[in-house]
Amino acid sequence: MNFMAVKCCFLLGFIVCIITSIPSYAESPEDSIRMNMQRMKGPELLLAHSNLCRLAAAGDDSDKELACLRAFIEEANLQGDAEAEGQARSMQMMCYYNYYMPDSLKMALPENLRFMGKHALWDHYYNSWNTLVELYIYEDRLQTALREAEKMYADARRNKSNYGVGVSAYCVGGIYQTMGRFGEAKKSLEESVDALSKEEDISLLLSAYNALGETLDGMGAYEELRSVAVVWKEVLDRYKMEAEAKGYTPSLGGRYLYCMLAAAVAEIETQHYDKASELLGKAEMYANGRKQIARFKLLQVQARYYVATNQYEKALACNNENMSSLVSIGDSVSLLTVQLQQADIFLAAEQYKAAAELYKEVIPRKDKLRNTELATQLDELRTIFEVDKLILKNKITTNRFYFAVLCSILLLVMVILIVLYSSRLRRKNRILYDTIVQSQKLQDNLFFPNELIPEGRLDNDEVLFRNLCKLMLEEQLFRDPLIKRDDLAARLTTNRTYLADAIRKYADGLTFTEYLNRYRLRYAATLLSGNPDLSINEVGDDSGFNSRSTFNRLFRDYFGMSPSEYRSISREKKRE
């Protein structure tokens, strides 16, 4: 009996040894890192946490990224590594900003700033503070953003942080530039360039040069712009040479592009056209293979060059290419700028009638947009004034005890309201989701025309519309972000005007762009419900949108909720 027990134990041990000797293979880089972390410690373990956070950031999952960051912060704290913890806290603030979590950002910022200030981690300190300024700018609260940036600038001066001065002066200058206050923007941006020139990392310095170049262009200071562009290029050349000496080649194509364009503008406006043509040729080379935004800026400057050299047809060709791109992505604000440039081209070419008609169409819309922006700023100033007045009144009329009680009550009410609002919003979205599903079925006649009706009983527009819908459904042409009305008209052997009329008549008055976007949005909704492995970015790209912000805005406008919320509700419905 004892012999059998010993034999069984030996056999069991042998099996365990075999199993543990079989190599395991991670399914992903994340799995590989997590498996190896079990035997890591010290700086190696912190580096693994940092890599996990970067992988999570690329996955478009805020909960996962924040969980990785919390683990990174906790491990850095356990090891007493302040630099690593400061890095993790800075990444946390950027995560809150990227996923637009303003309450979390504002709540976490003071504690993060206290920690970073205590350990003199000034780069992380001012980068984290900058996320709040960027948040206000994103929310179009420019006055609030300016006040926060000026506070950051004063703080950097007190702490004698050269990097903090550079960051905060860049923020102040950028806000002034957005407001059209070019003189103040120039002063702040020059200070930013001076401070950031002393730092090893030149990425923000190059952004400051770009903002300064646009400001000088707005001021008409072209001789100064030429001088700035020369120094700007020297910085780029020096950095590239030093990097190559260390054995790697930095990716600076986009940075060189904007430098060349700024220099070209200076040469155009000072009538050095041969030099401008040479610079634009270099800019064209740097723009190859880059995103549409780079091409947009290049075409704008090229149009300016062609107007200056009386080549109006080429100027209009550049302008029309920009216009087609903006129409396809639905960027109406930038479209106004391009249309105004086209009117200026018509005027320079002495096509006065065309210029007048375009000015008559565009200027009222531009004025309306400007008035809206002005009203928003006035409302913000009024809000700031009221808040300041209330704070002052509380300081005068209440003591610290009652002030603390009031703050506690307000905080409790805010938490309750947030909880109630979140709950109501969730219920509303669930109801809205059901309504969307039903309305999609009711709208199917718009996207799936009844083919049982003989073609002979339809008028020409209805036949054209039915053929268009059939083409869209069979070939999913809407998924091409560059598809144009002329392309579809050619496929249907008609012209753009007849096609637009047919869409307007049988698609409930939609324009071509709106009709195309309806297909894209319906397709995106299908992907969000049926393809859980696709990220939000991938859904937008696969549906024909070449801009995440445009996709999110149009989706929210059409369905009443964000793509993430739509996917979340869809998952809940499937589980039920």
Please state the three-class secondary structure of 135-188 as a single string.
HHHHCCCHHHHHHHHHHHHHHHHHHCCHHHHHHHHHHHHHHHHHHCCHHHHHHH
Which residue is it, tokens 């912190």? 46
d(CA 544, CA 132): 32
Which residue is it, tokens 């948040």? 135
**C-alpha closest to that of 33 among 15, 54, 49:** 49
Six token digits for residue 6? 């010993």
Residues of the chain with CATH 1.25.40.10: 27-139
> Hey, what amino acid is at 292?
Q
d(CA 338, CA 320): 9
> Hey, what amino acid is at 337?
T
d(CA 209, CA 186): 11
CB 66 within 8 Å of CB 92: yes
CB 79 within 8 Å of CB 46: yes
3-state secondary structure 106-124: HHHHHHHHHHHHHCCCHHH
Q: What CATH number belongs to 443-575?
A: 1.10.10.60
d(CA 574, CA 530): 10
Q: What CATH number belongs to 27-139?
A: 1.25.40.10
Neighbours of 228 (CB within 10 A): 23
Residues of the chain with CATH 1.10.10.60: 443-575
CB 319 within 8 Å of CB 338: yes
| pLDDT number for residue 111 | 95
Q: Report residue 64 CA to chain centroid gap.
A: 20
| pLDDT number for residue 43 | 92
d(CA 277, CA 264): 8
**C-alpha closest to that of 523 among 537, 496, 542, 502:** 542
| pLDDT number for residue 4 | 41
SS3 426: helix
d(CA 554, CA 556): 5
Q: Rg (Cα) of the chain, in Å, rounded?
A: 29
> Hey, what amino acid is at 399?
N
d(CA 127, CA 105): 13
pLDDT, block means (10 residues), the chain with 576 residues? 40 42 57 86 91 87 92 93 94 93 94 95 94 92 92 95 95 92 94 94 92 94 95 93 87 90 94 94 87 82 92 90 81 79 86 85 75 62 60 69 80 80 66 62 53 72 87 88 89 90 87 90 88 88 89 90 88 79
| pLDDT number for residue 287 | 86
* DSSP letter assigned to residue 22: S
Please report the sign of the dihedral spanned by the C-alpha atoms of residue 110, residue 116, residue 118, residue 123: negative
